[in-house]
């Protein structure tokens, strides 16, 4: 299942069976608003992609090891290319889905304060929380609207408001939403003024979201610095490969052919430009991985968030050292 899928799938299935027995057949208008049992179509597709790419990654890993040991019909230097294939297919799909889920959570966090504010206003007008939730389900909250519809359908089906709110927090997987929902649930259980708690939670969530947005905007400049430094590295290496290394090889070849005996006790080893190309290629891979991880920590606070940048820079490294250098 996906990174942020609920860990209570089996429990929710059992609860759904019990609720259907208690409240009768689910009305058709609610079936489309309640999450289906088991894996959804998107989750099944994601799992299939994980299995397929894992098989490809394992096969590429075996080829990489065989290349390193000299069993492959191509040179050992191509083991680096197979390492990139292993990394792309092994970590690529997970990172793509992770970043997509992360963007979804960020969009939900952005609209969550508005949802809490509307919920507080409806409760202040005299509505009960379940009725206020149903009223909010008719609003427009972007990505959050789907989750609000699910909560409203669960409450209408007979699930308690606090239970529906808890399931919502578990589905989203956002620390901000989890903390605020726990606060609301505790306030409701303790008999406090839930309206004031909702209003305060809305202001708190909005302030936190503004801080996070400001931090991401400020840290995005550092992400650009990482990309610029990587491009500068590639440019310098390509210039060396096109100008310096060929001239250096000519000088070494001329010195080797100057005489049969070493001059001044000095002798020259056979110079191979391809060794430098491989060395620079490995340096580019290290810089791509390190820069991407640092960029993920700076921009999102998690190194996994920088895996997309790693894949992009790895692709640029491969093109530079396997295609451009060959043309040069």
CA atoms within 13 A on the CB side of 258: 14
> Which is more confidently placed, 4 or 47?
47
Q: Looking at residue 268, what is its pLDDT?
A: 56
At 208-245, the pLDDT tens digits run 888 888 887 777 788 888 999 999 999 998 888 888 88
Q: Report the alpha-carbon distance of residue 131 to residue 109 in Å, rounded.
A: 23
* Cα–Cα distance for residue pair 164/148, rounded to 1 Å: 10
CA distance 224 to 108: 26
Q: Residue 48: which pLDDT band, with cuts at 50, 70 and 90?
A: very high
User: Do 291 and 309 contact (CB within 8 A), yes or no?
Assistant: yes
CB contact at 8 A, 280 and 293:
no
Main-chain dihedrals φ then ψ at residue 106, nearest 5 degrees: -65, -40
| Tens of pLDDT, residues 167-217 | 999 888 888 899 888 888 888 787 767 888 888 888 888 888 888 888 877
Residue whose entry in the numeric block shows the structure tokens 């610029």: 228
Residue 321 has pLDDT above 60, yes or no: yes
Residue 37 and residue 17: Cα distance in Å, rounded? Answer: 10
Residue-wise pLDDT for 236-293, tens only, equals 988 888 888 878 777 777 766 654 455 555 555 666 777 788 888 999 999 999 998 9
Q: What CA dihedral angle connects 49, 52, 54 and 60, to 10 degrees? A: -130
CB 321 within 8 A of CB 77: no
pLDDT in tens, 95-127: 889 888 888 998 999 899 999 998 888 888 888
Here the tokens at position 75 are 């040179």
CA geometry: angle at 304 spanning 298 and 310, to 5°?
85
CA 266/CA 276 separation, integer angstroms = 22
pLDDT value for 25: 47
Contact 81, 322 (CB under 8 A): yes
Task: Judge contact between 304 and 98, C-beta under 8 A.
Answer: yes
In 3D space, the residue among 131, 140, 133 whose CA is nearest the CA of residue 116 turns out to be: 133
């Amino acid at each position: 299942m996906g990174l942020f899928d609920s860990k209570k799938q089996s429990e929710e299935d059992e609860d759904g069976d019990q609720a259907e027995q208690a409240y009768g057949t689910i009305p058709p208008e609610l079936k489309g608003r309640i999450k289906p049992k088991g894996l959804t179509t998107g989750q099944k597709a994601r799992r299939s992609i994980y299995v397929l790419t894992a098989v490809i990654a394992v096969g590429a890993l075996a080829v990489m090891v065989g290349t390193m040991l000299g069993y492959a019909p191509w040179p050992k230097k191509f083991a680096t290319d197979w390492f990139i294939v292993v990394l792309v297919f092994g970590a690529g799909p997970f990172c793509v889905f992770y970043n997509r889920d992360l963007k979804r959570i960020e969009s939900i966090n952005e609209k969550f304060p508005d949802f809490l504010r509307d919920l507080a206003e409806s409760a202040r007008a005299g509505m009960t929380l379940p009725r206020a939730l149903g009223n909010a389900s008719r609003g427009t909250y972007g990505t959050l609207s789907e989750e609000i519809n699910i909560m409203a359908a669960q409450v209408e089906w007979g699930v308690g408001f606090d239970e529906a709110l808890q399931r919502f927090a578990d589905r989203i997987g956002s620390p901000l939403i989890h903390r605020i929902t726990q606060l609301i649930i505790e306030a409701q259980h303790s008999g406090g003024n839930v309206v004031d708690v909702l209003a305060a939670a809305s202001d708190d969530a909005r302030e936190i979201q503004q801080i996070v947005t400001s931090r991401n905007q400020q840290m995005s400049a550092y992400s650009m610095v990482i990309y610029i430094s990587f491009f500068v590295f590639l440019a310098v290496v390509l210039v060396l490969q096109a100008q310096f290394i060929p001239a250096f090889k000519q000088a070494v070849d001329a010195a080797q052919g100057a005489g049969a005996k070493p001059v001044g006790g000095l002798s020259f080893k056979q110079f191979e430009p391809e060794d430098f190309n491989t060395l620079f290629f490995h340096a580019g891979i290290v810089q791509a991985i390190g820069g991407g991880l640092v960029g993920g920590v700076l921009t999102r606070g998690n190194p996994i968030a920088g895996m997309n940048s790693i894949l992009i820079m790895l692709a640029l490294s491969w093109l530079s050292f396997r295609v451009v250098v060959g043309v040069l």
